[in-house]
């Protein structure tokens, strides 16, 4: 089965096999938000991803099984 390349480009797998990605809703329309809210959106978020999905979407990277 092919790896979903668009999915792998958006996520990062750490040394401890955690899957990290950007928080949703922080690409545009942020001018009205306070600076602290804007900066809070910069961090990465840990994703709970099932082993089945991880093996299908991130086949080239080893992930933690949940």
Mean pLDDT for the stretch of residues 40-64: 76
Phi, psi at residue 39, to the nearest 5°? -70, -30
What pLDDT, on a 0 to 100 scale, did the predictor assign at position 35?
94
Mean pLDDT for the stretch of residues 30-57: 85
Domain ranges of the chain: 5-57
What pLDDT, on a 0 to 100 scale, did the predictor assign at position 32?
94
Sheet containing 19-22: order of strands: 11-13, 19-22, 44-47
What is d(CA 38, CA 23) in angstroms, rounded to the nearest whole number? 11
Q: What is the pLDDT of residues 3-19, one digit of tens each?
A: 778 877 888 888 887 88
């Amino acid at each position: 089965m092919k790896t979903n390349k668009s999915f792998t480009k958006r996520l990062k797998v750490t040394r401890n096999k955690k899957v990290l990605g950007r928080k949703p809703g922080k690409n545009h329309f942020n001018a009205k938000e306070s600076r602290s809210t804007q900066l809070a959106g910069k961090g990465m978020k840990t994703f709970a991803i099932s082993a089945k999905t991880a093996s299908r979407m991130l086949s080239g990277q080893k992930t933690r099984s949940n």
